[in-house]
Structure 1
Amino acid sequence: MTDQTPIPARLPVCVPLVTEPLGLFGSLKLARRNVLAILPDLATRQPMVSGRTGARWHMVMDPGAIRTMLLERLDHYPKSRVTQNLLRPAIGESMFVAEGAHWRWQRRAAAPAFSARNVLNLAPVMTGAATRSADRIAAAGPRAVNLYDEMVTTTFDVISDVTFSGGEGFAREAVHRAIDDYVAEAGRISLFDMLGLPDWVPRPGRVFSAGALRQMKSVADGAIAERAQRGPQGVPDLLDLLLAGEDPETKRRMNAGELRDNLLTFIVAGHETTALTLSWALYLLAFDPEVQERARAEVQAHVAGDAATGEEAARMTFLRQVVDETLRLYPPAGIVSRTAQAPDELCGREIRKGDTVMIPIYALHRNHLLWSEPDAFRPDRWQQKPDRYAYLPFGDGPRICIGAAFALQEAVIILATLLKRFRFHAVPGRDPAPVMILTLRPEGGVWLEAEPLT
C-alpha cells in the first residue's frame, strides 16, 4: 500500500520562537543575540500575550487593539524608553523619536518633501544606482555574490545622492562606517533596559559608541554647511526640500540641529530598511524559481530598456506583491514597543501606566488567526488586501513611515532592473538566518548565483 500522506512544502527560513518561559537572564542572553528569539510562539496563535521580565509587558497582535494604540490613543502610547535610549543618542529629537507637538510640527514641515511628485522626481537616481549595481554584479563573474552587501551599497548610493546630491562635503564612507559601528555597539538590548532601570544609568555599549556618533554628526554638519553656501542646483534633493520645509500651521522651520538629526534619520532608515527588503526579496525569488519567472515576465513586458524607470515601476503589480510578501515575512523592524502613559484595557486585559506594550510585527505578520499558511511565501495572497492593522511594515496611523512610498518605489525599480539582467539561483547550504538587533538582517549574507540573461 502506498503512503498517500502529502509531503509538506518547504518553507523559507524563519526564527524559531520560544515555547517555554525563559526567565530574565535567559531572555537577555537570547535578546543580545537575536531580539526576535525571545518572542513566544503563542504570539503567532493568540491576539495578546502578557508577562513580566523585570517589568510588566504585553504583546499585541489583535488588529483592533493595534488600531487603538497607533490611531485612536496615539498619545497614550509613545515610543518606549528602551527605543528612545537606543535611538536618541544618534538621531536626537528628530521626528522618529520626538513625541507630541514637537513631533507634529516636524512631520508637517517635512511632509511636502515626500509628496508623490517629489518621490517620482527622484526615480532617476534610483534607476542610476540600479544600473551600477547590475554592472557590479555582472563584473563579479559567474561566482556566487553576497547580494546583501551589494544591496547595502546600492541603497546607500541612492540615499546619499537624494540627500546630498553633488555635495563634495559628504563623506559617504565615513557616514556608512559610523552607522554600522553604532548599530553594532549600541543596538543590543542591555540588562539595564530589561530591568527597567532609569534612563540616566549609562548603558555600556552606548558609551563605547560615542566616537562613531560624533563622526557621523560631524560629517552631516559639514555637508549641511556646504549646501548652505552652494545653494540648490537642478532637481531639488531631500536636503533642498527640507531646508525649504515649513510647518504650515506655525511657520516654523528646522534649525541646523533639527535638520541634521532628521537627515541622519533618513540616511539610517532610508538605506538600511530598503537594503534588507531587497536582500530578502532576492533570497525569496531564488527560493521559489516559479515566482521569479513570473516576476521576470512582468518586468520584460513593462521595462523597455535595461533599467526600470519610476513610471514603469508603478505598473508592475506582481513585483509589488513580491515586495509586500517579503515585508510580511521579514519586516525590517520586527518589533515596536510603547510605554503606556495611562491605565487602559486592550483585548480585555488590564494595561497599567508604565507597562511596556509591544507590537511584535514579525509575529503579527505570521499570526495564524490573521493569515493563511503564514510561514509560506505566497505573493498571490496580495490580490486581496489584509486588515490594515494586520500588516505594519511601515507602521500606521499618523506616525506611518514618511518615506514608505519612496522605499517601495526604490525596491521595485532595483528588483526590476536586476531581474531584467539576471536569473538568480540559491547556493546550497548558504541560507541566511533572520537575526534582529535593531533591524531584521540576513545573518551570513544572501549568497546567490547571478546568471546573466542574454
Structure 2
Amino acid sequence: MTPVHQLGLSDVLVLVVGFWLITKVVRHIANRNAHGTKLNGPPSESLMFGLTRKIAQAPDSGIVFQEWAAKYGPVFEIPTAFRRSKVILCDPRAVNHFYSMERSVYVRPKLYRAVVANLFGRGLLWAEGESHKRQRKALTPAFSNAAIRRLTDVFYDSAHKLKVHWDAAIDNSPPEGAIIDVEHWMNFVALDSIGIAGFSHDFRTLDGEYSAVAAAFDSLNFEGQGVISNIVFLLSAQFPFLANLPTKRNRIQSNLRQSISGIADDLLEKTRREKKTHVTDETADRSIIGLLLKAEEGDSELRMDQTEVMAQMNVLLLAGYETTSISLTWALIELARQPEKQAKLREEITEFGATDPTWDQQISALPYLDSVVLETLRLHPPLAETTRQASVDDVVPVGEPITTASGEVVDSIAVTKGTIVTVPIRCMNQSEVFWGPNAKEFKPERWLTLADEPLRAKEIQGHRHIISFLDGPRTCLGKSFALAEFKAVLSVLIRNFTFEFPDGPETEIASHRALIPRPKVAGQSGGIVPMRVRRAD
C-alpha cells in the first residue's frame, strides 16, 4: 500500500474519481423521491466544475448573475461541480424569506463550516441553531447603541493619529503632494481601532510597530496559485478531505489559523491577568473581550467554553480588520474617481464645524457622509454572496411568477432538504432592476431622494435596502460598530486631505485575491492603491 506521504497527483485523482462515483450512486438513491421545483438555468460548461470556475474567475460575479437572472428569471438554477446544482435567488420576496429563515431552515453547508472551524474555530461564524443564538446573545451588549456611542472617540483618535503621520509625509514631499498607499494605512487604522475598542489593546501599527495580525492576513494571498492548488480549492466544496492536502493555499490558511489563534490567546491571557489585579475598568468589562471573559467564567445559559471564546476573538479580529479597511479603501477610490463628489462631501463636513461629529450627528447632521458610506457598501459589499443549505424541506414565495423547467408558471418554489441556495449580494445591490439605470454608478445622491423614488430596491429588507450586512437572525452583529468607524475615519480624512490618482481618475482598479477580495490598482503586485494626497485647502 502506498504510504499517505507518498501520494502523488495521479493517486489523488484516482481517489477523487472513486469518491465521485460513490457519491453519484448515493445521490441517485437519495434523490429518487425528491420533489424540489425544477428550474431553468444556464447549461454546464464542465463536467468537473459545472459553472463554479466561471463564477470564480469572473471579474465581477454580480454581472454574471444579473445576465442569468435576465435570461432565466429571478429564481434559477446553476450547475456546480460533478453535476450537482444550486438555486439562485434574485427575487426580493424570496431573498427576504431566505434571510428570515436562517438558523431555522437555511444553514451553512458542512464544508463551509469545516473551513470556518479550521480557520477560526467554532465561534459565532460557525455556530448554528441554539448555539448561534446563545453566542450572539452573549456578545450583543458590546454592540449596543450605548456601546457604540462610547467607542466613537476611539475611532476618531485612530483617524487623527493617521492624520499626524500623513501631515509629516506631506511636509517631506514635493508641493504636488505625497504618494501614499491608502489601503496600507486603512489596514492600520482598522486594526488599531478594533484592538482598542474591542480588546482594550493598542496594536500601535499606526506608529510603525510590527503586528502579527496584519502580517497573518497579508500572507493570505491567493494570487499566482498553481493549477493544482486552484483545482484542489474548487473541488474541496465536494470533497472536504482535499482541504488537508499540502497545497500552497492550504498551507497559507493553516499559517493564518495558527497566527490568529496565538494572538487571540495572548490578548485573553493579558486581560485575565489584569482582571485578577483589578487593573481593568468598567469600560473594559463592557468591551468585547470583557464580555467574552464573563461568558467564559459564568454559569448562566450564555456561558462559553474556552474554545468558543477563542473562536470569537479570531472572527472579530477578521471582521474588524479586513472588512472595514476594504470599505474605507473603496470609498477613497470612488471619491478620487469623482473629485466633485469628494469636494461636496468636504464642504458638508467643513460646514458642520471644527469638532468631530458624535455618533448621532453622523446621520442626522451629515446626510451626504451617510450617503457616501451607504453607496460604497451598496456597490462594493465585502462579501459577494450568501450560500446556505436547506436543513429541511421549504417553500419559498416569489414576488413575481416563475416559469419552471417544465413550462409551469408558479408563485412559489419547493426546496428540498439538502439543496444549496445562494443569494448573490453584489448582484442584488447593483441590479438595474432594483436600483434603476444608473445602478452600477457611484451616485451617493440617490440616498437623499430614495424615499421619493419608485424603486424596487425598497422591496428588499436588509439595512436601508442593501444586503451587504445580510439580514434576519444572522445579520451582521457589528453593523453599527462598522458604520460608526467608517464615518469617523472618512470624515477626518476628507476634512483634512484631498485624494487623486497619480495617473488620473480613469486609473483601472482590479481585484487582489485574498481571504476577502481587496481592490488594487491594476498592475500592482498585491493589494496596493497609491494615491496623491495633499492637504485640503
Query: Is residue 2:169 matched to residue 1:122?
Result: no
- Name the residue aligned to 2:497: 422
In the alignment, the residues of structure 2 paired with residue 86 and residue 145 of structure 1 have an alpha-carbon distance, to the nearest angstrom, of: 35
Match among 213, 216, 233 for residue 178 of structure 1: 216
CA contact (8 A) 2:192 2:203 kept: no
SS at match of 2:434: coil
Measured in 1, the distance between the counterparts of 2:188 and 2:282 equals 25
Q: Please tell me whether Structure 1 or Structure 2 has the larger radius of gyration of its CA atoms.
A: 2
Who is 1:388 aligned against?
A: 461
Aligned equivalents of 2:434 and 2:327: distance in 1? Answer: 22
Is 2:389 the partner of 1:339? yes
1:368 equivalent among 413, 432, 453: 432
Task: Select which of 80, 84, 94 maps to 1:53.
Answer: 80
RMSD, matched Cα: 3.2
Q: Secondary structure at the match of 1:145?
A: strand
Once the two structures are superposed, the pairs formed by residues 62-101 of structure 1 within 5 Å of their partners are 62-72=91-101, 74-101=103-130
Q: Shift of the alpha carbon at 1:183?
A: 6.2
- For 1:209, which of 253, 259, 264 is the aligned residue? 253
Query: 1:224 aligned to 2:268?
Result: yes
Shift of 1:76: 1.4
TM-score, normalized by length of structure 1?
A: 0.86
Task: Report the CA distance between 1:167 and its aligned residue.
Answer: 6.8
Contact 2:219–2:252 (Cα < 8 Å) also in 1 = no
| CA contact 2:154–2:196 (8 Å) conserved in 1 | yes
Is the aligned partner of 1:357 residue 2:401?
Answer: no
Seen in structure 2, the aligned counterparts of structure 1 residues 400 and 249 have a Cα distance that, compared at 3 Å, is farther
Deviates more, 1:257-266 or 1:323-332: 257-266
Structure 2 residue identity aligned to 1:388: Q
SS in 1 for 2:469: coil
Equivalent positions of 1:133-144 (< 5 A) are 133-141=162-170, 142-144=177-179
Decide which of 192, 195, 220 is 1:157's aligned counterpart: 192
More deviation, 424-433/370-379: 424-433
Contact 1:333–1:438 (8 Å) recurs in 2: no
What is the match of residue 443 of structure 1? 520
- Write the distance in 2 (CA, Å) between the matches of 1:285 and 1:368: 22
Aligned counterpart, 2:281? 233
Q: Which of these residues, 308, 313, 318, is aligned with residue 362 of structure 2?
A: 313
Question: Deviation at 1:182?
Answer: 4.3
Residue pair 1:32, 1:437 contacting (<8 A) in 2 also: no
Matched with 2:17 is: none
Q: Which residue of structure 1 aligns with residue 472 of structure 2?
A: 397
Shift of 1:135: 2.3
Deviation readout 1:326-351 (Å, 9 max, x if unpaired) = 11100001111111223334444443
1:377 aligns with 2:426: no
Contact 1:220 1:260 in 2 (8 A): yes
Deviations 1:125-181 (A, max 9, x none): 111110122222333331332211111111111111223324799997112222333
Shift of 1:74: 4.1
Residue 433 (1) aligns with residue 510 (2): yes
Question: Within 2, Cα distance between the matches of 1:247 and 1:329?
Answer: 42
- Checking the alignment, whether the CA contact within 8 Å between 1:50 and 1:58 is kept in structure 2 is yes
Amino acid at match of 1:219: I
TM-score of the two chains, using structure 2 as the length reference: 0.73
Amino acid at match of 2:137: R
User: Are the aligned partners of 1:35 and 1:437 in contact in 2 as well (CA < 8 Å)?
Assistant: no
Shift in CA distance, 177/225, structure 1 to aligned 2, threshold 3 Å: same
Percent identity of equivalent pairs: 24
Give secondary structure in 2 for the equivalent of 1:342: coil
2-structure distance, mates of 1:194, 1:41: 25
Please, which runs of 5 or more residues in structure 2 have no aligned partner?
Answer: 1-41, 171-176, 399-411, 452-457, 522-527
Query: Of residues 61, 64, 67 in structure 2, which corresponds to 1:42?
Result: 67
Offset, 1:313: 2.8
Contact 1:105–1:247 (Cα < 8 Å) also in 2? no
What's the CA shift for 1:20?
A: 8.6
Aligned to 1:11: none
CA distance in 1, matches of 2:298, 2:288: 18
CA gap of 1:436–1:31, structure 2 versus 1, over 3 A, is: farther
**Match of residue 15 from structure 1:** none
Query: Whole-Å Cα distance in 1 between the matches of residues 108 and 193 of structure 2?
Result: 29
